[in-house]
Amino acid sequence: MKTWIPVKEFSKTNRIVHHISAVMFIGALLLMAYDQYVGSSDAMLLHQSFGVVVFVLYFGRIVLMGWFGKPEALGTQMEQFLAHMAHLALYGILLLMPLSGLMLNIARARDTVVFGLFTIPGFSERNMDIYLMALDVHSFLEWICYLLLFAHVGASMFHHFVLKDDTLKRMWGKTD
């Protein structure tokens, strides 16, 4: 049974969500690096807000692919399998990273304020067991995230410049 409806290219809505969430996800990574270097609480607040938005956008993107379909992977059967596995891992990261980050805040009995628009309340008391588990998950996923991001961009460039197929064009909606 196919999970997605095969189409020639991603829908415009799906492409927009992909690009916005990619910018926000990379922004969240950069804000975290900045916070670790400078120690800016504003950077951490933005990082948390970006994480919540990325979660919502990527959850929505998965729903959109169910409604509007997604293109079949190009290449050999092995390349298609690897692309499918890599995308499943990316979707998992883009959902689990924000959730584990949110759990860090909640377990520390801190509210998560999303761009000043709404607040996700923390626990009434700190729960160090949940905090340590969420920290381990978030830290582990951070390194997996860097590897997957590098592989995703690298594979896109490989398809575009070496294989010269339409993989990258389909994401930008430029197929003929």
Please, are residues 21 and 58 in contact by the beta-carbon 8 Å criterion?
yes
d(CA 38, CA 121): 27
Please, are residues 127 and 107 in contact by the beta-carbon 8 Å criterion?
yes
CB atoms within 10 A of CB 48: 24
Question: Is 142 buried (19+), middle (13-18) or exposed (0-12) by CB count in 10 A?
Answer: middle
Select from 116, 76, 90 the least CA-distant residue to 171: 90
| Per-residue confidence (pLDDT) for residue 175, from 0 to 100 | 62
| Per-residue confidence (pLDDT) for residue 1, from 0 to 100 | 42
d(CA 112, CA 103): 10
Residue 121: how many CA atoms within 13 Å on its side-chain side? Answer: 3
Could you tell me if residue 73 is left (phi over 0), alpha (psi between -120 and 50 degrees) or otherwise beta? beta
Per-residue pLDDT of the chain (176 residues; tens, 9 = 90+): 455 677 877 788 888 888 898 899 889 889 988 888 887 788 999 999 999 999 999 898 888 888 888 887 777 899 889 888 988 998 899 899 999 999 999 999 999 999 999 999 999 999 999 999 999 999 999 899 889 889 988 988 888 899 888 877 777 777 65
Please, are residues 131 and 104 in contact by the beta-carbon 8 Å criterion?
yes
| Per-residue confidence (pLDDT) for residue 104, from 0 to 100 | 95
d(CA 74, CA 157): 14
Structure tokens at 28: 């969240």
Task: Give phi and psi for 115, each to the nearest 5.
Answer: 50, 25
| Per-residue confidence (pLDDT) for residue 105, from 0 to 100 | 94
Could you tell me if residue 88 is left (phi over 0), alpha (psi between -120 and 50 degrees) or otherwise beta? alpha
Select from 36, 38, 28 the least CA-distant residue to 114: 28
